[in-house]
A and B are shown apart, each in its own frame.
Chain A
Amino acid sequence: NAGVTQTPKFQVLKTGQSMTLQCAQDMNHEYMSWYRQDPGMGLRLIHYSVGAGITDQGEVPNGYNVSRSTTEDFPLRLLSAAPSQTSVYFCASKGGAFYGYTFGSGTRLTVV
Chain B
Amino acid sequence: GIQVEQSPPDLILQEGANSTLRCNFSDSVNNLQWFHQNPWGQLINLFYIPSGTKQNGRLSATTVATERYSLLYISSSQTTDSGVYFCAVQGGTSYGKLTFGQGTILTVHP
Contacts and interface: CB of A to CB of B under 8 A. Distances in A.
Given A56-B96, A58-B97, A105-B42, A43 B33 contact: no
A59 B43 CA distance: 20
Given A59-B1, A101-B45, 11 more contacts: A31-B95, A33-B97, A43-B86, A43-B88, A44-B100, A48-B96, A101-B31, A101-B33, A101-B88, A101-B98, A108-B41
Interface of A: 31-33, 35, 41-45, 48-50, 56, 58-59, 88, 90, 92, 94, 97, 99-103, 105-106, 108
Main secondary structure, interface of A, reads strand
A17 to B, nearest CB: 24
B42 A43 contact: no
Contact of B96 (A43, A44, A49): A49
Interface of B: 1, 30-31, 33, 35, 41-43, 45, 48, 86, 88, 95-103
A50 B33 contact: no
B45 A41 contact: no
A33 B98 contact: yes
The list of the 9 closest CB pairs from A to B, nearest first, reads A100-B48, A42-B100, A48-B96, A103-B43, A100-B33, A43-B100, A31-B96, A50-B96, A42-B102
